[in-house]
């Protein structure tokens, strides 16, 4: 009773404290003393009362929209030259569409919230039992029952389950993206709470940490009866996760609503703007400056003209305003020209406001959304095996995909399959396993070595591919080191967090682990006679098979588990074996384990290190295994401190630090047993994809946790590294570093590391500067060196400078935090557009830091895809995503912006020219309807169609010529030159159209009554010509014609004519100046058609001539490929093939009749390879050479031959494979087209 009194006395003291320190929950009682969140959640961005003000605020955060609002406000004043509707209607239309989109999205979120809040759960009521209640009615302290396949309604304390051992399985995909089931265990003391009587008498208090977003940690304790029970994350069931493979569980509500961990993590992902959008801001600023300059010029000219020549303007009557328009009177006051000029400036701001395209932002949003839909529908990026298509999770970055310079990639699960197989091992200094890895096969292929019969692939159980007669069939039990082998298997079978699933037959087990390599370890132990067949909350059960066929059953009591983390890089379990001996079993990264080995036991250490090096060179993932015997007394003393640290609920960070220190204390003086080697095979198509991406000018950086030897050989296997590459290795493994580290002299260690890293980086820079020939380079750096680089600003700059000059970079032994820091370094300091790709939770940081994040939906779950901008199932699809969709989207969005600039320039300058003609008086030549609908109706559809469907080069040819991708990297579609050309094209066309129409009408009057054509007729003719010019200009720009393009262009022109006819038939209040204008005046007049067509034709001719000239004499890369594409299938063509050469070089053309197929066989012996001479046919400008067996010597001879002819060399390096080549044509004629390679 005294102990009970002290427990509740402590509880009372905690309650007196504020919620700053603790979270206190009274289970099965009302919690009136503290205020908790309701379990009703809302993810809506707006409320009904906040939608309008908040929505408008969001819209007017855009500078352009703010300007348009100012423009519309000016149109409401007397100085406006246009009807206010011409500015207000487009503004309302654009903002209305954006807000409607926001409203629809918010409505969907609210609908989903309502569905979740009204889900049902069984809630315990005193004296009533379990009743059905809605989620929103749950409160802190309630007890609920959750059935199989249902989601948990709140964060619960796991009390008991239908499992007799108090276990349950949960799926946490919605929380962390992991697809593997997680095991949860209730407290031993509460697992019998399973019926109404037990809950009726159950009253307890939970003290725990405050609500926080950490889904992997939980610190708390349960005060029940006269005991204090420690709680851990395994006793917590989080909202958003689902109950699996368990009939039902009971739980007490700890956190509700916004306090749950899933809601604490529901923050918006980092906002990313594409580089093109930032360039667009500059274009908009330029247009605004142009608008201001033209308005200033107009107002100054008007003021000067007003002061000098007002007496000539007898038709202007500013005095005739009847007191209603004093501002307009001041605007034409010859006695105060300065005020008049200022007012005229604002008049011109309104009149010229159409220089800035108000509908551009909406058009871009629509176009990008449709582009994303088509990307999602691409069957070439659909992975049938897992039924997973590619997905654009955002459409904001479509065009950014076409400008990527650097790809930062994870290895495991991204380049590889993440399907682990136990392949080799080292036990007691002896290496086991005779198989050949993919990396070794790659080396054998390069050396033309055939696999021996015992190296041929054979069938094996999933997760196990070890082949060695010394271990198989339990022969290891006859080995002299059988005790060590048994200990090795013991660690494999016990040191893990595997969940054992089985049916009625215990032999048919399934191992479910949080990582594939853990499952492969347990499978390997089973195959070698150490079978884990059952696991409970506190024990693991092993069948130890003998070579005689019999087996023994052992129970190992699990005392403690020290979990794996990316910082620790190791995991340990403390067990009591059947003989009562307490053992610490540990596995982890070899460098971490070797640091903690006992110095007194050096046996097998160096042999194991040699084996680890061999395994790494073979591309295998390695771990070291060790153990330690603990005496009862020292263990109990350590366990007391361990429990005491777990009871500290003041601060989870402090608790983690205390537990880490205790783990560090006990994981010392280990005895080495051996090492494991796991093979993770490359995904299909990875080497080819990386090679094509490299040919496209994209540099590949691999950030991996593997050791350096493993990473290097994987790099060779997937073609990140090439044999002719010069490797600059930065590592911290010299004697000075090792000695300083061994002595733990921190100051000396830091100084040595900084000097070593700096010297190695400097050596790399010197080597790069001294290269006389063009050679590929690669940087390879280990995690320790990278850590010092990232902590020193000077080293950062040096490392980045070196790395950006190299073709490939491999960072080894990196942590998730280092991945994110490297990505940020490249993006910010390197000023490069980078793409990060990964598949696991440890890749989320770098995915979010990059310009573009791509998630691989693989074995490790969906957390990477949830944080990414794009997702796909296989790395090889990245090639198509970038080289095809990225390049297309880049050129399309570039064209969209340039075209909007052009069509607003031509329209705006036509207004400016007319205003100049009318002495800058602010007179508009166009009817108000024309001004309002020019952008959203008469010129919008064709440019949208082109921006969605246009293909400058078909996808097959984009993949065939990856160097075309460099167009986006160099921003060749959006250069100042191209923007300027479109800008002046608009001015020239506006000028030609304006003067052709004006001069034509000045000499003709075709109306029957002899009256001259009025301003409305001239304006209608000019507008008709502008609509024709802008839409027909599209015909030149379109690269890929379909019926949709034809419908868009001619349909837009038809819409204009229908509008002109129909509007004139409306009542005068609606039609205004257009009342019967077309039917009565324009249509019967032949000059309308002749002048409009003449103005259109003359305006388009310079543009046509300009484009034709540059296409024929200065073609771009994609235009050359278009010619190849056009001729393909109907005749042979010359395709540039590039090879490395000297300073002077040559073009090779391959005569093709079909893509990649050379069909002309060698037929003349004088061109035979045996002669090693090159004979040109008489009167021929080509060398013909049968190349069925071309080698490096042949290529050298080619080079020497053509250096004598002073031929030009194309330096686009592609695959030097000549398989299937039957004829090579080498052009000697300098007039031949430069070819793709000349531009690459």
- Residues forming the active site: 410
Q: How far apart are CA 559 and CA 885, in angstroms?
A: 55
Q: Is the dihedral of CA 629, 633, 637, 639 positive or negative?
A: positive
Cβ–Cβ under 8 Å, residues 150 and 251:
no
Phi–psi pair at 101, nearest 5 degrees = -60, -45
Burial letters 1124-1156, b for 16+ CB under 10 A, else e: bbeebeeebbbbbbbbbbeeebbbbbbbbeeee
Cβ–Cβ under 8 Å, residues 629 and 582:
yes
Q: How far apart are CA 623 and CA 664, in angstroms?
A: 18
* Residue 1229, token pair as written in the block: 């004629």
Q: How far apart are CA 978 and CA 167, in angstroms?
A: 67
Q: What DSSP line would sit under 367-402, residue for residue?
A: HHHHHHHHHHT-GGG-BTTTTB--EES-STTTGGGG
Cα 443 → chain centroid: 33
Q: How far apart are CA 208 and CA 211, in angstroms?
A: 9
Cβ–Cβ under 8 Å, residues 805 and 828:
no
Q: How far apart are CA 43 and CA 266, in angstroms?
A: 9
1077-to-239, 773, 933, 997, 1071 alpha-carbon distances in Å: 68, 73, 18, 18, 10
- Give the Cβ contact number of residue 756 at 10 Å: 19
Write out the E strands in 612-668.
621-630
Q: How far apart are CA 535 and CA 548, in angstroms?
A: 26
* Residue 399, token pair as written in the block: 């065009």
Please tell me what DSSP assigns to residue 1153: S
**Interacting residues of 189 by C-beta distance below 8 A, sequence separation 6+:** 224, 227, 229
Q: Which of 160, 142, 180 is nearest to 28 (CA)?
A: 142
Rounded to 5°, the CA angle 752-570-639 comes to: 110
1224-to-672, 1159, 1203 alpha-carbon distances in Å: 61, 11, 17
Collapsed DSSP state (helix, strand, coil) of residue 1184 = strand
Q: How far apart are CA 684 and CA 10, in angstroms?
A: 62
- Catalogue the long-range contacts made by 659-663 (C-beta closer than 8 Å, 24 or more residues apart): 660/568, 662/638, 663/562, 663/568, 663/572
* Residue 216, token pair as written in the block: 């992997």
Q: How far apart are CA 525 and CA 528, in angstroms?
A: 5
Backbone φ/ψ region at 243: left (φ over 0), alpha (ψ -120 to 50), beta: beta
Collapsed DSSP state (helix, strand, coil) of residue 570 = strand
535-to-116, 517, 531, 843, 902 alpha-carbon distances in Å: 35, 19, 11, 32, 72
Cβ–Cβ under 8 Å, residues 946 and 897:
no
Q: Which of 63, 70, 69, 56 is nearest to 98 (CA)?
A: 56
CA torsion, points 509, 511, 517, 521, in degrees to nearest 10? -50
Q: Which helix or strand (DSSP H or E) is residue 1149 part of?
A: strand 1148-1152
Q: Which of 646, 499, 501, 484 is nearest to 560 (CA)?
A: 646
């Amino acid at each position: 009773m005294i102990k009970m009194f002290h427990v509740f006395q402590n509880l009372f003291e905690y309650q007196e404290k504020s919620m700053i320190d603790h979270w206190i929950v009274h289970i099965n009682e009302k919690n009136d003393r503290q205020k908790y969140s309701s379990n009703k959640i809302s993810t809506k961005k707006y409320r009904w009362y906040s939608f309008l003000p908040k929505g408008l605020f969001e819209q007017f955060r855009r500078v352009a929209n703010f300007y348009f609002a100012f423009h519309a406000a000016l149109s409401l004043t007397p100085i406006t030259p246009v009807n206010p509707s011409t500015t207000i209607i487009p503004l309302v239309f654009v903002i209305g569409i954006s807000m409607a989109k926001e409203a629809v999205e918010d409505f969907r979120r609210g609908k989903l919230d309502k569905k979740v809040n009204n889900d049902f759960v069984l809630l315990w009521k005193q004296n009533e039992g379990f009743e059905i209640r809605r989620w929103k009615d749950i409160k802190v302290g309630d007890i609920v029952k959750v059935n199989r396949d249902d989601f948990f309604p709140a964060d619960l304390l796991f009390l008991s389950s239908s499992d007799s051992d108090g276990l349950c399985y949960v799926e946490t995909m919605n929380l962390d993206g992991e697809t593997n089931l997680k095991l949860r265990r209730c407290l031993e003391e509460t697992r019998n709470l399973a019926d109404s009587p037990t809950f009726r008498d159950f009253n307890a208090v939970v003290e725990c940490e405050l609500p926080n977003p950490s889904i992997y940690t939980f610190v708390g304790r349960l005060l029940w009866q006269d005991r204090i029970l420690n709680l851990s994350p395994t006793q917590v069931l989080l909202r958003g996760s689902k109950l699996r493979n368990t009939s039902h569980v009971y739980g007490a509500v700890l956190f509700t609503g916004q306090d749950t961990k899933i809601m604490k993590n529901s923050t918006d992902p980092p906002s990313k703007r594409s580089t093109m959008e930032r360039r667009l801001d500059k274009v908009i600023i330029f247009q605004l400056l142009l608008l201001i300059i033209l308005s200033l010029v107009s107002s100054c000219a008007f003021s000067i003209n007003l002061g000098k020549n007002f007496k000539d303007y007898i038709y202007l009557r500013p005095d005739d305003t009847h007191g209603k328009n004093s501002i307009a009177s001041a605007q034409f006051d010859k006695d105060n020209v300065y005020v008049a000029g200022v007012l005229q400036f604002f008049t011109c701001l309104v009149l010229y406001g159409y220089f800035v395209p108000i509908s551009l932002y909406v058009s871009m949003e629509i176009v990008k959304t449709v582009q994303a839909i088509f990307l999602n529908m691409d069957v070439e990026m659909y992975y049938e095996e897992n039924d997973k298509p590619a997905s654009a999770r955002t459409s904001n970055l479509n065009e950014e995909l076409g400008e990527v310079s650097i790809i930062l990639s994870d290895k495991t699960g991204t380049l590889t399959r993440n399907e682990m197989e136990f392949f080799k091992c080292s036990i007691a200094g002896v290496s086991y396993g005779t198989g050949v890895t993919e990396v070794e096969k790659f080396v054998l292929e390069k050396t033309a070595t055939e696999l021996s019969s015992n190296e041929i692939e054979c069938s094996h159980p999933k997760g196990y591919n070890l082949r060695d007669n010394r271990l198989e069939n339990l022969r290891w039990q006859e080995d002299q080191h059988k005790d060590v082998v048994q200990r090795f298997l013991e660690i494999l079978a016990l040191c893990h967090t595997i969940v054992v699933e089985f049916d009625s037959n215990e032999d048919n087990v399934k191992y479910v682990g949080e990582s594939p390599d853990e499952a492969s370890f347990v499978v390997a132990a089973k195959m070698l006679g150490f079978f884990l067949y059952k696991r409970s909350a506190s024990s693991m059960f092993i069948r130890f098979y003998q070579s005689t066929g019999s087996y023994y059953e052992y129970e190992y009591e699990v005392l403690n588990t020290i979990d794996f983390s990316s910082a620790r890089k190791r995991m340990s379990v403390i067990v009591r074996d059947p003989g009562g001996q307490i053992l610490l079993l540990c596995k982890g990264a070899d460098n971490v384990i070797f640091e903690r080995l006992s110095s007194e036991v050096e046996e097998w250490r160096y042999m194991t290190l040699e084996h680890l090096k061999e395994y790494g060179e073979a591309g295998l993932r390695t771990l070291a295994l060790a153990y330690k015997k603990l005496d009862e007394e020292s263990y109990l003393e350590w366990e007391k401190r361990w429990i005491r640290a777990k009871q500290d609920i003041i601060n989870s960070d402090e608790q983690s630090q205390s537990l880490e220190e205790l783990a560090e204390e006990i994981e010392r003086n280990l005895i080495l047993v051996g090492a494991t080697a796991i093979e993770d095979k490359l995904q299909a198509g990875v080497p080819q994809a990386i090679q094509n991406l490299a040919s496209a000018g994209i540099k590949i950086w691999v950030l991996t946790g593997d050791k350096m030897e493993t990473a290097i050989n994987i790099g060779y296997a997937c073609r990140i590294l090439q044999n002719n590459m010069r490797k600059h290795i930065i590592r911290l493994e010299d004697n000075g570093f090792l000695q300083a580290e061994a002595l733990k002299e921190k100051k000396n260690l830091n100084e040595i590391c900084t000097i070593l890293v700096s010297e190695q980086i400097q050596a790399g820079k010197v080597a790069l500067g001294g290269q006389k020939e063009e050679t590929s380079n690669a940087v390879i750096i280990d995690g320790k060196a990278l850590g010092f680089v990232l902590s020193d600003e000077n080293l950062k700059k040096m490392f980045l400078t070196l790395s950006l000059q190299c073709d490939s970079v491999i960072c080894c032994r990196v942590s998730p935090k280092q991945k994110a820091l490297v990505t940020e370094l490249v993006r910010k300091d390197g000023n490069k557009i980078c793409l990060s790709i990964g598949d696991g939770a440890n890749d989320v940081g770098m995915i979010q830091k990059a310009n573009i994040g791509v998630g691989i939906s693989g074995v490790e779950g969906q957390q990477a895809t949830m944080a990414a901008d794009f997702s796909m199932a296989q790395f090889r699809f990245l090639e198509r995503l970038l080289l095809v969709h990225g390049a297309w989207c880049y050129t399309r969005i570039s064209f969209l912006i340039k075209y909007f600039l052009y069509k607003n320039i031509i329209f705006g300058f036509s207004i400016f020219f007319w205003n100049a003609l009318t002495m800058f008086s602010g007179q508009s030549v166009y009817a108000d309807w024309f001004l309002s609908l020019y952008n959203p109706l008469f010129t919008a559809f064709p440019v949208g169609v082109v921006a969605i469907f246009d293909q400058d080069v078909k996808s097959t040819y984009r993949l065939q010529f990856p160097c075309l991708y460099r167009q986006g990297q160099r921003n060749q579609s959006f250069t100042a030159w191209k923007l300027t050309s479109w800008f002046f094209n608009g001015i020239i066309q506006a000028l030609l159209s304006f003067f052709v129409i004006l001069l034509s009408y000045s000499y003709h009057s075709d109306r029957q009554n002899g009256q001259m054509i009025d301003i409305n007729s001239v304006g209608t003719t000019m507008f008709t010509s502008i609509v024709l010019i802008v839409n027909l200009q599209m015909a030149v720009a379109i690269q890929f014609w379909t019926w949709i393009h034809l419908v868009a262009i001619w349909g837009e022109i038809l819409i204009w004519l229908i509008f002109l006819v129909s509007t004139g038939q409306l009542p005068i209040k609606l039609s205004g100046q257009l009342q019967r204008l077309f039917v009565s005046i324009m249509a019967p007049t032949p000059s309308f058609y002749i002048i409009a067509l003449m103005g259109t034709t003359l305006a388009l001719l310079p543009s046509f001539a300009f484009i034709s000239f540059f296409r024929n004499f200065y073609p771009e890369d994609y235009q050359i490929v278009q010619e190849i594409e056009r001729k393909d299938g109907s005749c042979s063509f010359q395709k540039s093939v590039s090879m490395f050469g000297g300073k002077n070089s040559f073009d090779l053309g391959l005569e093709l009749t079909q893509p990649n197929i050379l069909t002309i066989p060698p037929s003349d012996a004088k061109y035979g390879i045996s002669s090693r001479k090159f004979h040109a046919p008489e009167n021929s400008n080509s060398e013909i050479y049968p190349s069925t067996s071309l080698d490096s010597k042949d290529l050298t001879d080619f080079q020497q031959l053509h250096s004598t002819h002073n031929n030009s060399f194309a330096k686009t390096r592609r695959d030097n494979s000549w398989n299937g080549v039957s004829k090579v044509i080498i052009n000697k004629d300098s007039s031949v087209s430069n070819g793709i390679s000349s531009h690459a």
